[in-house]
């Protein structure tokens, strides 16, 4: 929140003609703090890294900045990040560490969002005051596992884990991520996937926006495999 306020103030002072704020949904619009479907975290959030970004939107509108709100999605690069790659299962199969639920999840590599932002700037004033939702492709965890199996030449199996169990895994941020998965991938998928993030519209903004298979073909050698079994 402090960073967003500082950036909005700096943009105002600099007299910028177009500002893009990378943001996310404030989940409290759908799950109020008194809603026990998800625990309240830090005393005021349901999904902290979502809610704080969404709440921070008002700094840009309060200062009457010429802003476009760019809503991002799941980073496919998480699959190639140390500690977040594929893990070996008991039967030798590979298991993705990300828990995407059973419904379609919007995703893109980070470069896709940067190119989309460039596309927004090129449109001039057309998107000022608007929200833009970006996805290269909306896929289920099982669909992603099928593509990974084909590209890596080794069986990849997707196994879902319920949000309550994920929140109890004990690592820093597990509660935040577990609630994020519950909101985005299970309870409100229509709001955060195909219902809000229009793949065709995103590709019109950025014609080089990759599909998951295209991204995999270019990044297969980056896929780390952690040896610890689970």
pLDDT given for residue 101 in this prediction: 61
Give per-residue pLDDT as tens, 130-161: 999 888 888 888 898 899 899 888 888 887 77
Q: Is 57 helix (H, G, I), strand (E, B) or coil?
A: helix
pLDDT given for residue 113 in this prediction: 87
Question: What is the rounded CA–CA span in Å between residue 135 and residue 112?
Answer: 8
Question: What is the rounded CA–CA span in Å between residue 139 and residue 74?
Answer: 10
Write down the H helix ranges in 80-140. Answer: 110-122
Question: What is the rounded CA–CA span in Å between residue 96 and residue 155?
Answer: 11
Question: What is the rounded CA–CA span in Å between residue 113 and residue 75?
Answer: 10
pLDDT lower than 70: segments of the chain: 82-85, 92, 96-102, 189-196, 224-230
pLDDT given for residue 230 in this prediction: 45
Nearest CA among 161, 145, 150 for reference residue 94: 145
Tokens of 32: 């109020």
**3-state SS record for 128-178:** CCCEEECCCEEECHHHHHHHHHHHHCCCECCCCCCHHHHHCCCCCCHHHHH
pLDDT given for residue 108 in this prediction: 87
Question: What is the rounded CA–CA span in Å between residue 228 and residue 159?
Answer: 16
């Amino acid at each position: 929140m402090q960073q967003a306020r500082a950036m909005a103030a700096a943009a105002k002072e600099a007299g910028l003609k177009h500002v893009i704020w990378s943001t996310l949904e404030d989940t409290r619009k759908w799950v109020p703090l008194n809603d026990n479907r998800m625990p309240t975290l830090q005393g005021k959030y349901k999904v902290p890294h979502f809610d704080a970004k969404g709440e921070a939107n008002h700094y840009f509108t309060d200062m009457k900045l010429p802003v476009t709100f760019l809503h991002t999605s799941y980073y496919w690069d998480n699959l190639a990040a140390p500690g977040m790659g594929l893990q070996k299962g008991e039967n030798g199969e590979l298991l993705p560490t990300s828990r995407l639920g059973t419904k379609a999840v919007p995703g893109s590599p980070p470069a896709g969002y940067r190119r989309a932002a460039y596309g927004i700037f090129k449109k001039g004033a057309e998107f000022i005051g608007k929200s833009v939702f970006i996805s290269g492709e909306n896929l289920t965890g099982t669909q992603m596992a099928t593509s990974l199996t084909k590209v890596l030449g080794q069986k990849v199996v997707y196994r879902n884990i319920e949000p309550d169990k994920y929140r109890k895994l004990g690592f820093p941020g597990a509660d935040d991520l577990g609630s994020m998965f519950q909101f985005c991938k299970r309870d409100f998928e229509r709001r955060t996937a195909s219902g809000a993030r229009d793949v065709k519209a995103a590709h019109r903004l950025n014609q080089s926006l990759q599909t998951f298979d295209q991204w995999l073909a270019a990044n297969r050698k980056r896929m780390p495999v952690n040896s610890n079994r689970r």
